[in-house]
Structure 1
Amino acid sequence: MGVSQGHRPGAGATDVVVVGSVNADLVVRVDRHPSPGETLLGTSSVTLPGGKGANQAVAAARQGARVAIVGAVGDDPYAHVALSALRAADVDLTHVAQVTGATGLAVVTLAASGENTIVVVPGANAQVTESSVATATEVVAAAAVCVMQLEIPLPTVEHAARLAHHHGTRVLLNAAPATALPRAVLRLADPLVVNEHEAAVLLGRVHDSPAAAAHELTGLGARSAIVTLGAAGLVGHDDDGAFSLPAPAVTAVDTTGAGDAFVGALAAGLAAGQPLRAASAHATRVAAYSVTRLGAQPSYPGPADPLP
């Protein structure tokens, strides 16, 4: 069973297709993170739309891309929340299935410093299968960029990457949450996007130099690689060699979903024909904007919002 679509002006063409997770985020604000075994009183709580796949889809759509998503939600009350921002951003939900059971849920503990901890319960995301992607073959083949993360089963990610590559659709692989990946999948990524922790998992060690780590990731097979560094910006490596980009200086309120803001904006830029470095520079500004506001999807800027 699929979810209801809603109004989509200009439906039919797709720039970016996202294969990934759709969650509800339960955000609890605390003065500081608790120690193991400690109980703290929170200052507030709110339920917001989330999931790395949905976050990236909304971020791309708000940057002007025509976006479709392949995923799943449950038949519980959280499904409405999880889909709300996707609908508002006119993301194509044709290939989002509604399955029996719970919608994916992320419990986010947000400290006054802006740093967060996150526990994700996959729920319906575990039912995003290779057949889910196969039914969306036409959309994947027609898109300029196919975006994937790792909050859905790995065989589904591998299948989506192969399908996209077969049809000439650029593969943007965000290897998060951190896990080891087959080289056959890494070879399809252009770019591979990771943070420092995720890079260490793929490389099997913590690298002294993020720039060297980005280069080494291309040695694993990725055509291009970007290592995001939070407030320090990013480093990358592509056919023209190494590059680095600073991040704008902002006061962080909530870092939840900042990496997804970057990936979604990067996908939109690549789909519009921007070179990797130019698209990355714009995406760092989108990510910086996002950390100045609460939540993931609600914090993502539209075309008229002034970026830092």
Structure 2
Amino acid sequence: MRTLRRLDPSSSEESARPALTVVGSINIDLTAVCERLPAPGETVGGATLQRQPGGKGANQAVAAARLAGRSRMIGAVGDDPDGDVVLRSMAATGVDVTGVGRVPSPTGTALVAVDRHGENQIAVCVGANAEVSLDDVTFAAEDVVLCQLEIELGAVRETARRTPGFFALNAAPAVPLPGDLVDRCDLIIVNETEYALIPELADAKLVAVTYGAEGSALYSHGRRVASAPGNEVAVVSTVGAGDAFCAALVLALTSGLDHETALRAANAVGAHAVGDSSAQPAFFPLAHYLPPPAAPG
């Protein structure tokens, strides 16, 4: 197993370089915390309202900054008060937001309902996320880049084409993926439902699949090559857990960890996230979540 890099930078050059560049969505989350989720056509009362920064891209960038010290966000927000809120919030955690554009469209908004078991329903109003631009954005060979599918597919494909180094895709929400995009990805991350909905993933070089409490696994060209069990934890909310897992897994794999150890660390980060009501919870440095070394003999 190689030495971890970028997780505890010791030089000014390393500390100045983002551990992860995220190209993706930035939202304000309006969350109703309910006793149970409503059925179609049903109204459930007694909910409490929370208003927090969110969006899969922003969640992943914030998680990476907290796990590894620094990250970079490429995206778009509205020229409105919500845009000010999310930019200030990301910057405060160590995210470089100079690549986030301000556009006339309103900042993206997610309408979230969460029940007492942590299960959720989410409707996303794309807003400014439809206008993510890569103008004046450059990617260096050493940059690690992560995208999701809450922005236009064309922007994702352009990011993949322009990334000379490691490129990962969180293929959520699930949509059909062009063959050139699947071929370009060094890593694709999905949950078990998304894995079933995207048959193109059977040909991908490396796919991480999450199974909730059952853990996660890695597949290469459809063959399971590693797995790790889930962590037993009381669930408060699952809204940001997948995003935290994505950031942690990409950081772990690109820092030199073997597949199983990387999965175990990412599972531990995801478990930490489900115990928090925020989509952008606080984390320890990633090394805190590594499994203890096996006893000799």
TM-score relative to the length of structure 2:
0.87
1:281 aligned residue (245, 264, 284): 264
Which residue number in structure 2 is paired with residue 243 of structure 1? 226
Runs (4 or more) in structure 1 with deviation over 6 Å come to none
Q: Contact 1:145 / 1:270 at 8 angstroms: preserved in 2?
A: no
Deviation at 1:276, TM superposition (A): 3.6
Deviation at 1:242, TM superposition (A): 2.0
Which residue number in structure 2 is paired with residue 302 of structure 1? 284
Map of 1:27-66 to 2, 5 A cutoff? 27-66=31-70
Map of 1:72-221 to 2, 5 A cutoff? 72-128=76-132, 132-137=133-138, 140-164=139-163, 167=164, 169-203=165-199, 217=201, 219-220=202-203
CA RMSD of aligned residues (A): 2.2
1:171 maps to a residue whose letter is F
Measured at CA, do residues 12 and 142 of structure 1 come closer, stay the same or move farther in structure 2, by a change above 3 Å? farther
TM-score relative to the length of structure 1:
0.84
Which residue number in structure 2 is paired with residue 5 of structure 1? none
Which residue number in structure 1 is paired with residue 3 of structure 2? none
Which residue number in structure 1 is paired with residue 7 of structure 2? none
Cα offsets for 1:255-308 (capped at 9, x unmatched):
1111000001112223433334322221110000000110210x2412299659
1:173 maps to a residue whose letter is L
In 1, Cα distance between the equivalents of 2:83 and 2:135?
A: 23
1:292 aligned residue (271, 275, 288): 275
In 1, Cα distance between the equivalents of 2:42 and 2:251?
A: 42
In 2, Cα distance between the equivalents of 1:65 and 1:149?
A: 21
In 2, Cα distance between the equivalents of 1:276 and 1:230?
A: 18
Q: How many residues align?
A: 277
Cα offsets for 1:214-241 (capped at 9, x unmatched):
xx83x42x22111111111112124895
Cα offsets for 1:186-234 (capped at 9, x unmatched):
011121111112112211xxxxxxxxxxxx83x42x2211111111111
In 1, Cα distance between the equivalents of 2:22 and 2:126?
A: 17
2:136 maps to a residue whose letter is T
In 2, Cα distance between the equivalents of 1:193 and 1:280?
A: 11
1:141 maps to a residue whose letter is A
Q: Contact 2:26 / 2:129 at 8 angstroms: preserved in 1?
A: yes
In 2, Cα distance between the equivalents of 1:20 and 1:158?
A: 12
2:215 maps to a residue whose letter is G
Q: Contact 1:72 / 1:124 at 8 angstroms: preserved in 2?
A: yes
Percent same amino acid at aligned positions? 42
Instruction: Indicate whether 1:272 and 2:276 are aligned.
Output: no
Which residue number in structure 1 is paired with residue 24 of structure 2? 20
Task: Please state whether the residue corresponding to 2:267 is helix, strand or coil.
Answer: helix
Q: Contact 1:225 / 1:238 at 8 angstroms: preserved in 2?
A: yes
Larger mean Cα displacement after TM superposition, 233-242 or 146-155: 233-242
In 1, Cα distance between the equivalents of 2:91 and 2:241?
A: 20
2:243 aligned residue (250, 253, 260): 260
